[in-house]
Amino acid sequence: MLGKCAVCGKETEVTVCCSAFGAVSYAYCNHCLVNNLEPYEAMVADISCAGNFPEDINKPYQEFCRHILKELGISEEQFIEDVRKASKDLDEDYAMWCKENENEQYLGNYDDYFTF
């Protein structure tokens, strides 16, 4: 079907299929599909939930991210910065949620909260 590739933005024949970054589907053009590319925002969102890049990410996933960055022409420094920003936004959203739900206690970050 015709559509817009979620990775490169090209308007062309696309295939909709599941992303490697979570239970979500995107439209991929043939080039992005066969080269295992993913939308940049999806990669930033997914990695920021796991922690910082690259230290909190396992080797195969690091390589996968670097492959995508190289194909998209985005520097690793830019990616690290974007992951850090997304992670900060998550913490702020969580602090806000705790404020709105006063019986919950904000402990500073997700790791503290989910470690029993």
Binding site for Zn ion (CB under 5 A): 5, 7-8, 29, 32
**In the complex, minimum distance from the CB of residue 96 to Zn ion, in angstroms, rounded to a whole number:** 35
DSSP state of 113: H
- The distance of closest approach from Cβ of residue 40 to Zn ion in the complex, given in angstroms and rounded to an integer, is 12
Angle at 104 between CA 102 and CA 108, to 5 degrees: 110
Q: State the nearest-atom distance from the C-beta of 62 to Zn ion, in Å.
A: 23
Shortest spacing between CB 70 and Zn ion, in angstroms: 15
Nearer to Zn ion, 4 or 88 (CB): 4
Q: Closer CB to Zn ion, residue 29 or residue 68?
A: 29
User: What does 28-84 look like in DSSP terms, one character per residue?
Assistant: EEHHHHHTT---HHHHHHHHHHH-STTTTS-HHHHHHHHHHHHHHT--HHHHHHHHH
Nearer to Zn ion, 7 or 57 (CB): 7
Give the number of residues written for the chain. 116
Nearer residue to Zn ion within complex by CB, 14 or 57: 14
